[in-house]
A and B are shown apart, each in its own frame.
Chain A
Amino acid sequence: MTNATSSLSLGGGTSVTVNPVTNKIYVAIQFGTVKVIGGAGNSTATVSMGRDPQFVAVNPVTNKIYVPNAGANSVRVIGGATNLTTTVNAGIAPQYVAVNRRLSVASVFQLSHGEFYAIAA
């Protein structure tokens, strides 16, 4: 089938990323959660973030998901297997995160201040 589409009603996703290894999709939702979608059956789970997440990135090697939490000056790290979270301090108001699989480092950056933070990934 070519370009067939379907929709998942999640409540407004600001960011989406895929772990191709686990075939899970992570969507940052404006209302304080990250939705975890099983790519095969579109089952969803909800991980509470406390505050509104803007961005989400995945390390498919370690199966960890990174969610900047600007309001708390931290990054929430989701364990892909359990959906349990831990919190890592990350500068001031981090907005975005990118993962380098080779170096196993996540870079966290803040748009308006131009500041970068590195955390082990």
Chain B
Amino acid sequence: MPNSKFKFRHATSRDLRENFNLFEPDRPLYHPALWKKLPRLFEMLLETKRVRFALLEETSSGLAQMFAGHTFVNRKLFSAALQPDRYTVSDDLFSMVDAGRMPFLAPKQIATENADGSLIGFNFSATPEMPLGPVAGNDEDMLLCPADGATNSTTTVSAGTNPGALAVNPVTNKIYVGNNGSINVTVIDGATNSVATVATAGGISLVAVNQVTNKIYAASSNSDLTVIDR
């Protein structure tokens, strides 16, 4: 495949609407579908530009990895991207992250930011709606637990300080949150939302899970790699 280039920032509302309509418009995008299908949406956005590739693996950990990869580099993202009762995502996520701001949007909605800074968004229902109101805010120590697929309820789970990395072990249903500020990993039991804290060697920049061996690897940019053995 030849290399191809696409300036994501210039996606128009029409691009998105057309994409959205292609994107299983009758099927609400709840968790776990939300987490699974967002990469697909990105992919389709790009496909309309005749650039055929997807951003991520179609796994929740893949999505988490995307967030995690962009959380750090001294930019506030991950904590800001997560808000109780709200999902947030954008095709221009990275630019917004870079600018230190993220829109907070209700579930079933996706937003993007135009090059002129205006926000547009779409509801994941049969009829796309726009615009959505941008919501400012930043709650650094809170982590959104993805909505329950049956009830769409959401729960907020407290993580450590400056949580910036996230990985999921779908086998054990454990969620690992790397905390850069508090120098530990928060382990969330996906079934009960109970949390445990594991001290790490340094502030965590990324977390990876081997679901086969159930080992968790937490990287620190200024210290040792911590291996958590479940």
Query: Which positions in A face B, CB cutoff 8 Å?
Result: 1-10, 12-18, 20-21, 23, 25, 27-28, 30, 37, 39, 42, 54-55, 57, 88-91, 95-96, 98-103, 105-107, 109, 111-112, 114-120
Contact = CB atoms under 8 A, between A and B. Distances in A.
Nearest to A42: B227
B212 interface: yes
> Among B73, B199, B208, which residue has the most Cβ atoms of chain A within 10 A?
B208
Contacts of B92: 114
Contact of B209 (A12, A14, A18, A114): A18
Given A25-B217, A55-B69, A100 B56 contact: yes
Contacts of B208: 16-18, 25
Contact of B228 (A3, A28, A100): A3
B1 A118 contact: yes
25 contacts: A2-B230, A4-B229, A5-B226, A5-B227, A7-B224, A7-B225, A12-B220, A12-B222, A18-B210, A91-B3, A98-B55, A100-B43, A100-B54, A102-B58, A103-B43, A103-B54, A105-B52, A107-B56, A112-B95, A114-B8, A114-B98, A116-B55, A117-B5, A118-B3, A118-B53
B201 interface: yes
B62 interface: yes
A114 B6 CA distance: 9
B8 A13 contact: no
Nearest to A16: B219
A8 B227 contact: yes
Contacts of A109: 8, 55, 94
Contacts of B9: 114
Interface residues of B, number: 61
B7 interface: yes
B57 A100 contact: yes
Mostly, the B contact residues are mixed
A111 B97 contact: yes
Contact of A15 (B46, B56, B219, B222): B219
B105 interface: no
B1 A120 contact: yes
B69 A105 contact: no
A95 to B, nearest CB: 8
A55 B187 CA distance: 23
Given A3-B198, A16-B219, A39-B215, A117 B3 contact: yes
A5 B197 CA distance: 11
A30 B222 CA distance: 9
A10 B222 CA distance: 10
A13 B218 CA distance: 9
B119 interface: no
A36 to B, nearest CB: 12
Given A14-B206, A89-B3, A118-B3, A7 B227 contact: yes
B221 A3 contact: no
Contacts of B7: 114-116
Contacts of A13: 205-206, 219-221, 225
> Among A9, A28, A89, A118, which residue has the most Cβ atoms of chain B within 10 A?
A118
Contact of A112 (B43, B56, B98, B201): B98
